[in-house]
Structure 1
Amino acid sequence: MKHSGILKIGFKLLVNDKSKFTALLIGITFAVFLMVQMTAMFSGILNRAYSTVSNVGASMWVMDPAVNTPGSPIPLPDYLLNAVRSMDGVSYAVPIFIGGAQVKLASGIYQGVSVVGLDDTSLFGRPELEQGNIQDIYADNAFFVVHDAEYSKLENPKIGTSFELNDHRGVIVGVAKVVANGLNGVPTLYTTYHRAIEYLPTTRFTISYVLVQPKSLQGIANIKKEVAKLGYVAFTKEEFNNRIADFYTYQTGIGTNILLMTVISFIVGLSISGQTFYTFILENLEKFGALKAIGAKGYELIYMILFMATVTALTGYGLGIGLVTLMISIARSRLPGYAAMITNWNLALAFGMVVLIAGISSYVAIRRVLKIEPFDIFRG
């Protein structure tokens, strides 16, 4: 490389001062750790907020315009289901019921649950079973229980376990698994639509959502238009997830708090690494002056400083990612309800922040180094 010599000198200057190099790494590592940890928690919360949409797997959801999250549906009139079924471009449409209840366990303890009522005919949106037979859902008082992080709250029920729900007897006939755990920390039970509305008190209308399968992607726009004429909205799975994300980001304190903590983490990392890097440059001014005296150009010193900042930033970034990954892995193994997850978006955001920290630190250092005059160094 053309500037390999000057870069080797910069690397030796950097790593030979072990205390300053360690301080720089600690600052950036700590900043990356906090930034990724905060955003990973938010990603985990959103992933669980999407859980109902992901687990049901419907291509389109018809709902009241005021609905923001799948766990808080506004009941729809029965005529809407028939109207959607008759629309051009609709392959089929089914109702689904989503509600909350208190169940009384065999031990006498009460536990809140989420109850999902599937269309009696198609059972569209049914979970994959670990134990039991799907046809058993039609038996008297039958329910499937989801084997997720909240499963133990129902005292680890098996097939045949009974409970009480609003003075009705319920029996576990299957144990299911789902794609994503729920957000609210309550176990989930699946049953048929008509059993759900029979067991749980409801309003005059009982349909939580109408699940739609369009005949083709081209028909989605027409379905949305026809549903809008009736005063309701139809969202694709991705659009519903975006609506959920917007709600948790802008209409609750979660997004604001996560953003604030991320900014604080960035400021902490910038202040520690920036101040330490600037101090490192000041303590080595005579060396930079000597390099200038023997013919090093200004742009070569700039390359040198950028290289030093890049090495430090990338090393701290790697250490921070490794540390947060280790912590999340340990937390997940010991706390099944722990929601944090690392995504490409988390990694990209942290990398961008680290580049910004390195850039600002380099800019301050470069300005100081370029003002050095070899005469002043040797005169001192």
Structure 2
Amino acid sequence: MRKNMKKSGILRIGLKLLISDKTKFSALLIGISFAVFLMTQMTAMFAGILNRAHSTVTNIGAAMWIIDPAVNTPTSSVPLPDYLLDIMRSMEGVEYALPLFIGGAQLRLASGTYQGVTVVGLDDASLFGRPELEQGQLQDIYADDSFFVVNDAEYGKLENPALGSTFELNDHRGVIAGIAKVASNGLNGVPTLYTTYSRAIEYIPSTRFTLSYILVKPSNAEAIANIKRNVSQLGYLALTREEFSKRITDFYTYKTGIGTNILLMTVISFLVGLSISGQTFYSFITENVEKFGALKAIGAKGSDLIVMILGMALLTSMTGFGLGIGLVTITVTLVRTVLPNYAAMITFLNLALALCMVIIIAAVSSWFAIRRVLKIEPFDIFRS
């Protein structure tokens, strides 16, 4: 009991000592908060980019995707031979296999301007992967020249079309028959249109092979390995939804400059926070060296002073962490109201990474401070 009271008393002394120097305490909070803000902001942007990178896979929702081995992103498909669809439909363990077309096109809008779009062609019979409609009826997709438009951050680039709005696509007339919403917005900054597979390959020029992907539902979990093996023997890849999403994530992380640049900015933010907090905390200890010497003189042990410094560092770090996370949350929320296509998103992984870095900052700052305090001799303090 006495030992616990002693430790709590030491911590209270450290707290009062820290807060009494408002300038140093404020500088510590600002440095750590700023570092946490930058680190979390960078990683939140990266998480948002990766989430949108595989938005097509998320929105379509197929259990398995048959792709060409060269494919890294859903919008950069390599056409598959038409006979592969028949093979998949007759393969053991496949409950059904459906065609999917994804391609880019230029629309000529009613105002005469041109706008690039992504066109998704769904299986005519099932319309598997269709978005949820906000306006219009599902059966309207089968009417002549009909398309569904996704109401997302890029919707305004099509001049906010209403039901019945028309456009021109490769000398073909197109009509907006429905306005839809999807679970995840795209990354490339272009609007998305949905239509039937047959209309998509008719309106958009392509190679002799028109299949972008084959969507497969395995009959059971045990059939997945068999499907993968058989498709691999044909020279193609069969990936589950999670595997395809990871393939896309790995591509953006390791094979583009996005991952490297975000990592570099995060490291710089960490070093900024470490240098500011470390320097400020060490300066605080140096300026109060007489007080630590006095504590030693009245019986405080080295372990007591270590507990005090760790408590001070922990309090400052956790307070700065909370302020930084709060600032990031406010910033992301406000920016999203102004820029709907802002991709940043805060995840538990972002928070955990920032927390680990803050703990490292606190540990390094404490280490230098502890080394300085343990060298203090009470005799030298009172002699001076």
Report runs of 4+ in structure 1 exceeding 2 Å deviation: none
The aligned runs of 1:187-226 (5 Å cut-off) are 187-226=191-230
Distance apart, 1:85 and its partner CA: 1.3
Please, which of 137, 144, 152 is the counterpart of residue 148 of structure 1? 152
- 1:257 is aligned to 2:290: no
Counterparts of 1:377 and 1:261 in 2: how far apart (Å)?
A: 44
Counterparts of 1:70 and 1:309 in 2: how far apart (Å)?
A: 47
The aligned runs of 1:90-109 (5 Å cut-off) are 90-109=94-113
Counterparts of 1:69 and 1:235 in 2: how far apart (Å)?
A: 13
- Identity rate of aligned residues, in percent? 73
The aligned runs of 1:73-92 (5 Å cut-off) are 73-92=77-96
Counterparts of 1:29 and 1:222 in 2: how far apart (Å)?
A: 52
Counterparts of 2:83 and 2:71 in 1: how far apart (Å)?
A: 19
- 1:171 is aligned to 2:190: no
Please, which of 344, 351, 375 is the counterpart of residue 347 of structure 1? 351
- 1:280 is aligned to 2:308: no
Distance apart, 1:89 and its partner CA: 1.4
Counterparts of 2:223 and 2:328 in 1: how far apart (Å)?
A: 44
Counterparts of 1:310 and 1:134 in 2: how far apart (Å)?
A: 57
Q: Aligned partner of 1:41: which letter?
A: M
- 1:244 is aligned to 2:248: yes
Matched residue, 2:328: 324
Distance apart, 1:88 and its partner CA: 1.6
Counterparts of 2:340 and 2:170 in 1: how far apart (Å)?
A: 29
Counterparts of 1:206 and 1:184 in 2: how far apart (Å)?
A: 22
Please, which of 45, 59, 77 is the counterpart of residue 41 of structure 1? 45
Counterparts of 1:48 and 1:345 in 2: how far apart (Å)?
A: 17
Counterparts of 2:303 and 2:216 in 1: how far apart (Å)?
A: 62
Distance apart, 1:94 and its partner CA: 0.2
Q: Aligned partner of 1:73: which letter?
A: S
Distance apart, 1:278 and its partner CA: 0.2
Counterparts of 1:301 and 1:221 in 2: how far apart (Å)?
A: 60
Please, which of 6, 31, 39 is the counterpart of residue 10 of structure 2? 6
Q: Aligned partner of 1:313: which letter?
A: S
- 1:31 is aligned to 2:35: yes
Please, which of 170, 187, 198 is the counterpart of residue 183 of structure 1? 187
- 1:367 is aligned to 2:377: no
Counterparts of 1:294 and 1:212 in 2: how far apart (Å)?
A: 76
Counterparts of 1:370 and 1:241 in 2: how far apart (Å)?
A: 52
Q: Aligned partner of 1:149: which letter?
A: A
For the residue of structure 1 that corresponds to 2:117, the secondary structure is strand
For the residue of structure 1 that corresponds to 2:56, the secondary structure is helix
Structure 1: gaps (5+ residues)? none
Distance apart, 1:83 and its partner CA: 1.0
Distance apart, 1:215 and its partner CA: 1.3
Matched residue, 1:160: 164
- 1:309 is aligned to 2:308: no
Query: Which range is displaced more, 217-226 or 18-27?
Result: 217-226
Matched residue, 2:116: 112
Counterparts of 1:365 and 1:238 in 2: how far apart (Å)?
A: 47
Distance apart, 1:276 and its partner CA: 0.1
Counterparts of 2:163 and 2:202 in 1: how far apart (Å)?
A: 22
For the residue of structure 1 that corresponds to 2:125, the secondary structure is coil
Q: Aligned partner of 1:349: which letter?
A: L
Please, which of 72, 78, 100 is the counterpart of residue 76 of structure 2? 72
Counterparts of 1:280 and 1:217 in 2: how far apart (Å)?
A: 61
**How does the TM-score come out when normalised to structure 2?**
0.98
Distance apart, 1:216 and its partner CA: 1.3
For the residue of structure 2 that corresponds to 1:81, the secondary structure is helix
Distance apart, 1:217 and its partner CA: 1.4
Q: Aligned partner of 2:50: which letter?
A: L
For the residue of structure 2 that corresponds to 1:140, the secondary structure is coil
- 1:378 is aligned to 2:382: yes
Counterparts of 2:348 and 2:54 in 1: how far apart (Å)?
A: 18
Distance apart, 1:60 and its partner CA: 0.7
Please, which of 52, 56, 69 is the counterpart of residue 52 of structure 1? 56
Q: Aligned partner of 1:146: which letter?
A: V
Counterparts of 2:367 and 2:86 in 1: how far apart (Å)?
A: 65
CA deviation map 1:148-203 (0-9, x unaligned):
00001101111100100000000000000000111010000000001000000000
Matched residue, 1:130: 134
Distance apart, 1:136 and its partner CA: 0.7
Counterparts of 1:128 and 1:65 in 2: how far apart (Å)?
A: 31
For the residue of structure 1 that corresponds to 2:207, the secondary structure is coil
